A and B are shown apart, each in its own frame.
Chain A
Amino acid sequence: MSLTTDDVKKIAHLARLGIDESDIESYAKDLSRMLDLMTQMSELNTDDVIPMAHPMDQVQRLRPDTVTERNNREQFQVIAPQVEAGLYLVPKVIE
């Protein structure tokens, strides 16, 4: 299984991940080698096996629907890159 530089660009876009143009080739090579490794799994017949998402097959624990968290907005926004009037600022989305 081998990935092209176009494949890498497409995946990087899906992940919103900036990749330097000069590195794309080496990512394509590394990812292709990783996929070769992963293709080894196809040797094994797993038709009747139930996928295992968590050790011990845990399921999500439920709790009473009550408020447990305080509003910590000010504390959290101290570490934000850019805030104004309690809002996170990003470049304009709608002209």
Chain B
Amino acid sequence: MHNKSITDLAKGLRSGEFSSVELTQAFLDRIKRHSSLNCYITVTEDLALQEAKAADDRIAKGDATLLTGIPIAQKDIFCTQGVKTTCGSKMLDNFIAPYNATVVEKFNQAGSVMLGKLNMDEFAMGSSNETSYYGAVRNPWDHNAIPGGSSGGSAAAVAAGLAVCATGTDTGGSIRQPASHCGITGLKPTYGRVSRYGMIAYASSLDQGGPMARSAEDAAIMLQVMAGFDERDSTSVDLPVPDYRAELNNSIEGLKIGLPKEFFGAGLNSEVAAVIEAAVNEYRKLGAHIKEVSMPNLKLAIPAYYVIASAECSANLSRFDGVRYGYRCANPEDLTDLYTRSRGEGFGKEVKRRILMGTYALSAGYYDAYYIKAQKVRRLISDDFKKALSEVDVIMGPVAPSAAFRIGEKIGNPIEMYLSDIYTIAINLAGLPAMSIPAGVVGGKPVGLQIIGNYFAEHRLLNIAHQYQQVTDWHQQSPKGFE
């Protein structure tokens, strides 16, 4: 049951083949059996069974949605009322959220069952899930490899069949890169498409929540629930939400695909390049036309991102002060000592590094040289995408320069870790939607293809991804031991 699609599971629930309580119990059993992957920070067993019982009643009454009774899991960055919400940090190890994130509320309304809260890099800062206070997550395809980050728990859980699907968030690649490394389908929507209310902020002008699932069709069903205007998020965009499943089966004959030459330079592993080439060829067979495009400012995306994200993080994380909620140090001498030690003891090393960087970039005398400069570079990168997307319908390329690296390989070298985000980060600066879909395997580990679209073209991306998944079976492969 654990590798069925949402529509198949919904059919089974409606026909009485199995109940949501049985389905939920099956997933809870799997979560226990595979706890060594460390995907979950909190498993909400009792709550899940209660929700499953309510879902069964709702299905019996005939007012179910496609997601009613479907066991899903939330990245532990989304606030869940009455349930511990840690954001992967010691700072919030004792934090029971007093309200639900809008995304959580929407899944509750749809009647889905929450299995628990998923592991992640601390405050979503990381590309390997190794910065979590709760320990690294193991990649189900290779237990010595990272699952990617920051939504590493989400990607590993879906790949291992420990949830039907999961939420993720993406500030610089945190949905797409783990989706690529774990062989699942992940979509980062257009900035403003999914509400950020109750999603613990890292870099507010870049953060965006999105679906992580086994297929484009499942991702479409999730996004249908997640997307939409929310007056509680001041940057939420008030545009109608299309029917994301309506265009899945449309032909993509005549589709214009752009390949940026900067995505295929020296830093790209040759076997990953071959996977991307083969995937593009598959699209050619489906009737797409391929064109080279250029992103001349791409290499400056990493410096611009790390200035902007660090600056926004240093401002956002100033709210963790040991006064109103979260960790407080023992026996503070005075107020400054309370702030300084609570923050010093509550945050991990990578979070501190970024707070320091951001504080420096925003401090008097450096603001123009770093922060304003980065915002100017951001515009030039965004303009590169606008120009390319006026010539083609979508842009394709790799998600990451290599397949998943080993646990411990890069954690001691933060710059090397940052550089591995080169193909994903620019998309967040521009605010565009992008997906990662499984496209091959290198050295026994999955590799994803990235598809980047124009603003609010999520329906188009899902259509293009779905068409590929009709003629290939990479998305149906399961890691050994999790079939």
How far is A33 from B431 in the complex, measured between Cα atoms in Å? 27
Overall SS of chain B's interface: helix
Asked if B482 is at the interface of the complex by the 8 Å CB criterion, the answer is no
Is A93 at the interface (CB under 8 A from chain B)? yes
Are A15 and B356 interface neighbours, CB within 8 A? Answer: yes
CB–CB A49/B379 < 8 A: yes
**Which one, A15, A34, A40, A81, contacts B359 given CB within 8 A?**
A15
Per-residue interface assignment for chain B, residues 231 to 252, with 1 indicating a CB less than 8 Å from any chain A CB and 0 otherwise: 1001101000000000000000
Contact yes or no, B96 A11, CB < 8 A: no
Chain B 310-330 residues near chain A, CB threshold 8 A = 314, 318, 321-326, 328
Residue A72 contacts which of B98, B237, B429 (CB distance < 8 angstroms)?
B98
Q: Tell whether, in the assembled complex, residue B414 and residue A30 are in contact, meaning their CB atoms are under 8 Å apart.
A: yes
CA distance in complex: A52, B371 (Å): 10
- Beta-carbon contact of A17 and B355 below 8 Å: yes
CB-based contact A15/B325 at 8 Å: no
CB contact under 8 A between A11 and B356, given known A17-B347, A56-B431 = yes
Q: Mark A23-40, 1 if CB is under 8 A from B, else 0.
A: 100010011011001111
Give CA–CA (A58, B234) in the complex, Å: 10
Does A63 lie within 8 Å of B302, measured CB to CB?
A: no
Residues of chain A lying within 8 A (CB to CB) of residue B300: 40-41, 44
Separation in Å of the A10 CB from the closest CB of chain B?
Answer: 9
Whether the Cβ atoms of B333 and A41 lie closer than 8 Å is no
Q: How far is the CA of A15 from the CA of B310 in the complex (A)?
A: 12
Q: Which of chain B's residues have a CB closer than 8 A to the CB of A8?
A: 356
User: What separation, in Å, do the CA atoms of A56 and B363 have in the docked complex?
Assistant: 27
Query: C-beta contact mask, B187-203 vs A, less than 8 Å → 1, else 0?
Result: 00011100000000000
With beta carbons under 8 angstroms apart, the residue of B94, B95, B314, B378 that contacts A15 is: B314
Interface residue A22 (Cβ < 8 Å from any Cβ of B): no
B234 near A60: Cβ-Cβ < 8 Å: yes
Known contacts A30-B414, A88-B324; decide if A51 and B234 are in contact (CB<8 Å).
Answer: no
Chain A contributes a number of interface residues (CB within 8 A of B) equal to 51
Q: For residue A91, which residues in chain B have a CB less than 8 angstroms away from its CB?
A: 332-335, 337-338
Closest to B370 in A: A38
Q: Pick the contact of A54 from B235, B340, B418 — CB < 8 Å? A: B235
Query: Is residue A86 within 8 Å, beta carbon to beta carbon, of the partner chain?
Result: no
Query: B356 touches which one: A12, A51, A92 (CB < 8 A)?
Result: A12
Are A11 and B323 in contact (CB-based, < 8 A)?
Answer: no
* A33, A38, A55, A80 interface centre (most CB from chain B within 10 Å): A55
Indicate whether B377 reaches chain A with its CB closer than 8 angstroms.
yes
Would B98 and A75 count as touching, CB distance under 8 A? yes
The chain B residue sitting closest to A60, CB to CB, is B234
Partner of A55, one of B191, B234, B347, B361: B191
Is B380's CB under 8 angstroms from A44's CB?
yes
Contact between A11 and B363 (Cβ–Cβ < 8 Å)?
yes
Q: Cβ of B328 and Cβ of A56 under 8 Å apart?
A: no
| In contact, B328 and A18 (Cβ under 8 angstroms) | no
Residues on B with C-beta less than 8 A from A80 are 323-325
A67 interface residue, CB < 8 Å from B? Answer: no
Instruction: Apart from A53-B205, A60-B234, A79-B96, list 19 A-B contacts with CB within 8 A.
Output: A11-B363, A14-B363, A16-B340, A17-B343, A31-B353, A33-B415, A34-B414, A37-B418, A38-B361, A41-B303, A41-B377, A49-B380, A51-B378, A55-B191, A56-B455, A58-B192, A58-B237, A76-B325, A79-B95
* 6 closest Cβ pairs, A-B complex: A18-B344, A55-B431, A51-B375, A81-B328, A52-B379, A46-B376
